[in-house]
Amino acid sequence: MLKWAILLSLLGKPALACKLALVLAIDVSTSIDAGEYAFQRDGLADALLDTEVVNVLTRDQVALMVVQWSGANQQAAVLPWRRMLSLAEVQRFSNRVRLMRREYVNSKTAVGSAIEFSLAQFGAVNDCQRRVIDISGDGASNAGAETSNQSRRAARLGVEINGVAIDIIGNSISEYYRRFVVTPDGFVMTSTGFSDYPRTIRAKLLRELVRPGS
């Protein structure tokens, strides 16, 4: 009887509809000027409306949140979790992204603290199959929680971290993200300056949403 009860209990559980909970964490530290912030904001808003991106967001009922981060105690969930259940919902979320005000100016860069804050947000979406943090930024951490410790903590919790490294000259930020920010199952994409950000964020979203073999 016990075996039958367990089997019936398992059969009665609904399948997880949400396949991905994705935190989009945007750097707004002092190295980001007003024009560069606009590239990040508008590039993300445009990428969310890409036809391929919309199709997967709605098919997989992806939950999205946008976090702005800067110094050690400067992180804000500027757009809380929303489920992408329809084209209209994606369009509304994209519009909210485009209208976001900047939360912080003239502050340091605390990548580890941004990861720590983002990890704390997943309790509200624990029905989603995958949990991913996407960190976009143009600098190495110079304040707050130790970045590699938080990255390892994310990996232990089963959270994937990916990065968009905004490299103006050379590849130093991309290398920093590879070594200290992303998890072993994550990846880094390089934006060669802020004008390249819209293309990069679209490619990053597609890679996250449509994984090989999925």
Task: Say how many C-beta atoms besides its own lie within 10 A of residue 48's C-beta.
Answer: 23
- pLDDT on residue 211: 65
Backbone angles phi, psi at 159, to 5 degrees: -100, 130
Asked if residue 9 is part of any domain, the answer here is no
57 alpha carbon, distance to own chain's centre: 14
Please report whether residue 173 resides in a domain.
yes
Number of domains in the chain: 1
Contact 210, 130 (CB under 8 A): no
Residue 122 lies in a domain: yes
* Separation CA 172–CA 49 (nearest Å): 31
Residue 51 domain-assigned? yes
Q: What pLDDT does residue 168 have?
A: 76
Residue 1: inside a domain: no
CA distance 135 to 107: 17
Q: What is the strand order of the sheet 130-137 is part of?
A: 75-83, 63-69, 20-27, 130-137, 160-166, 188-191
In a domain, 7, yes or no: no
Q: What is the CATH number of the domain that holds 104?
A: 3.40.50.410
DSSP string, 161-208: EEEEEE-SSTTHHHHHIIIIIS-TT--EEEESSGGGHHHHHHHHHHHH
In a domain, 5, yes or no: no
The answer to whether position 189 is within a domain reads: yes
Q: Which residues of the chain register pLDDT less than 70?
A: 1-16, 170, 211-214
Write down the pLDDT at residue 5: 47
